[in-house]
């Protein structure tokens, strides 16, 4: 008689396991982060992120078409801005002919059904590498929000489907929503980085965009005055609820694997989709370990992506997106 319930019956073979599998990952779950550089026919490898590149707009468009062909339906785009265009106010961020605006237009012209979510933050445009404007050695909130409003409207004018503020300034979602609506862009959504932690996992990303805070001037040496303390959990839920009240359509938790408890907490607290960013450091660790033969690359890649979705993610922003989609399509 013992035991009546045998869990192993449902694990007997792959056919049974696939029949009762609770979490299914598909290419449509993925969003691919892309780095865009000035020039034409430019493809620069990012040494700390094997397999990732900074591409000029023309090669970005080519890559977007390939992504769409394997089932990926969203890209999150970032630009590497020339140093001579940087200032403290980030004014290049709302240049209608800027690199970001040009890239948005080119992607939407070439692949209209690809969802384009440009990053909204001042760090690529800042001479100081911070997400906001510096005054008296401090990253100031409200003047930065004013700049982010202009940036968001500029992205919408270029054709963005969503804007994706990653800056963590207070109150910016409400002001951006108002600015978009007043400019006639009521259908342009906002994917808010609601719980973006001050994490050491971002190192390779900052290499890709040259956006780390400068150490040679009297400014904050890190982003801890606006990004969240990684020791905190309740604060993430509070920030998520604020952003939903202010008009966010999608919430983002960043980083990914080390923060899956936060993903579940946020998912349980809100009634909007939750996205997760599996960040550059998490990607680089898998690449490095698999190159040394310490991990099976494809198995650990798919395990991590499945765990992110299992935790509650509706969207997974990951540098593995193309590789994983090709594997899934097989």
Residue 177, CA distances (Å) to 105, 149, 172, 223, 240 in order: 21, 8, 8, 25, 16
Judge contact between 109 and 64, C-beta under 8 A. Answer: no
Q: Which of 274, 278, 276 is nearest to 266 (CA)?
A: 274
Active site residue 254: yes
Q: Which DSSP symbol is given to 112?
A: T
Q: Which of 279, 276, 278, 282 is nearest to 314 (CA)?
A: 276
Judge contact between 280 and 34, C-beta under 8 A. Answer: no
Q: Is residue 239 marked as binding?
A: yes
Active site residue 196: yes
Rounded-to-integer distance, Cα 205 and Cα 281, Å: 8
Rounded-to-integer distance, Cα 330 and Cα 323, Å: 11
Q: Which of 319, 320, 330, 314 is nearest to 28 (CA)?
A: 314
Q: Which DSSP symbol is given to 309?
A: H
Judge contact between 197 and 154, C-beta under 8 A. Answer: no
Instruction: Point out the catalytic residue in the list 254, 287, 309, 322.
Output: 254
Instruction: Point out the catalytic residue in the list 108, 196, 287, 322.
Output: 196
Instruction: Report helix, strand or coil for 274.
Output: strand
Residues 6+ apart with CB under 8 A from 314: 29, 250, 273, 274, 275
Binding residues: 239
Catalytic residue positions?
196, 254
Binding residues for Mg(2+): 239
């Amino acid at each position: 008689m013992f035991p009546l319930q045998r869990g192993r019956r449902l694990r007997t073979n792959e056919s049974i396991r696939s029949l009762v599998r609770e979490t299914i990952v598909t290419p449509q779950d993925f969003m691919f982060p892309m780095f865009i550089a000035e020039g034409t026919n430019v493809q620069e490898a990012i040494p700390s992120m094997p397999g990732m590149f900074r591409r000029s707009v023309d090669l970005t468009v080519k890559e977007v078409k390939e992504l769409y062909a394997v089932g990926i339906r969203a890209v999150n785009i970032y630009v590497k801005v020339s140093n001579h265009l940087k200032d403290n106010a980030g004014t290049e961020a709302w240049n209608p002919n800027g690199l970001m605006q040009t890239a948005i237009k080119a992607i939407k012209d070439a692949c209209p059904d690809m969802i384009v979510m440009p990053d909204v933050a001042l760090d690529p445009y800042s001479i100081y590498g911070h997400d906001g404007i510096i005054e008296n050695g401090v990253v100031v909130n409200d003047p930065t929000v004013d700049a982010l409003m202009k940036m968001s409207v500029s992205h919408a004018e270029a054709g963005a489907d969503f804007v994706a503020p990653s800056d963590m300034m207070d109150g910016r979602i409400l002001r951006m929503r108002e600015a978009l609506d007043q400019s006639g862009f009521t259908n342009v959504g906002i994917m808010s980085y609601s719980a973006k932690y001050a994490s050491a996992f971002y190192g390779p990303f900052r290499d890709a965009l040259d956006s780390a805070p400068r150490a040679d001037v009297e400014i904050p040496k890190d982003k801890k005055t606006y990004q969240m303390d990684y020791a905190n959990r309740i604060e993430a839920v509070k920030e998520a609820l604020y952003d939903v009240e202010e008009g966010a359509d999608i919430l983002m938790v960043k980083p990914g694997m080390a923060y899956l408890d936060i993903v579940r907490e946020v998912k349980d607290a809100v009634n909007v989709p939750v996205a997760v960013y599996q960040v550059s450091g998490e990607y680089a660790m898998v690449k490095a370990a698999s190159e040394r033969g310490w991990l099976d690359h494809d198995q650990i890649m798919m395990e991590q992506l499945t765990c992110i979705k299992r935790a509650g993610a509706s969207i997974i922003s990951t540098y593995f997106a193309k590789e994983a989609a090709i594997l899934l399509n097989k």
